[in-house]
Chains A and B, each alone.
Chain A
């Protein structure tokens, strides 16, 4: 247990020590998205009936930032440790693989949630956003950050170079987040793209999260929770198996 607490604490310190880059920078870039999209589309789009576009956009952007930062935390920590070689200090210790899993995932989740909360904190004074079902919002925020934290571990273990990790981020994580309904309701899409969106697990994370705010969503929150729970179980099992087997770590 002490090993888990130490690794979790170390991972939190690691991103907190460079908070300018790990917390403030994503806050700034997300605010730029908000500024541009709300200015360009704010007067033309109404995603949900009676919900202004900027209000619709903010939870989606917060969730997108939460997901991307959760992924970035565990993946960047692992790849840096592997490339610089200091991963061996952890591998030489008696910390078990479930402890490693939990510590990396929870630290990633914390960073994602801090960034997500930061976005709400900044926009709160300017935009009125209801919070109809906070528990739903919390469940999806936690589940999303856990999933991306675990995927970050998988990517960090798999990648041997920074450009491989960048490819994982640019060709998998970024398209999945951008095409998940952050900026639009999928009902505004043609039927074909709606069906494609239904295959994107990130869509259910954002849609379920948004339900917590507006009580309205493209898909049933129960179905979304079912999908994301399956995803969480699957990525957790894969990550635990990789850590247990020592794949690309203990060789």
Chain B
């Protein structure tokens, strides 16, 4: 059962009052991705609207992470078109996607382990740092001013994520939950338009999950960032997302508001087995 766009967006707006939902920012059309003979994604189409929280769910191996990798340019689909703000996106490298304002966090935390929390988050701002290597070598004038200006932005993120006490700790020494938070901070430092979160709550306890949910909703409310989220915890998905797309074996089997998806027979079959 596939909902039409107009239907699903109007019901989503109704389900989450107060949250703005704008134009389609990213439109994925008939995406197919293969690795040799393995079909990771088959003919998947869905769109992402500005300011919404869009969840991608599905059983293990459904192709959720591959979908995110397609969105930020790590994988290049063999078929299909990606429209970003109405323009077709050519085959692009991840750093070009980053320049367009697509940031992401990783399922298995991919922080820079040897660097401090501050440095990790500062790295997220490197696209906005314009001083050349000679100015940086002398650490004078423009380079110093730029560094300080970005440090101030980074401190705002540190405050937002409540990680002030660990800002100088090497991230390798941090517990898992805090590393996840730093990972989020690094993505936020890019001031992205679209934030891709790959299982932000995996392996967390209830309190940590609640904190993370709060951060995600705050990001959406305060910065208006569009959020695409992969998550296994159905309670979380149903609570915080505006629209949900369900994948199974690389195919889309459901798309709509959390309520619609929950009552979708295909989705129930995929999760619980078709005997029910």
To the question of whether A and B form a pair in one complex, the answer is no
* Chain A residues with a Cβ under 8 A of chain B: none
**Interface on B for A, CB 8 Å cutoff?**
none
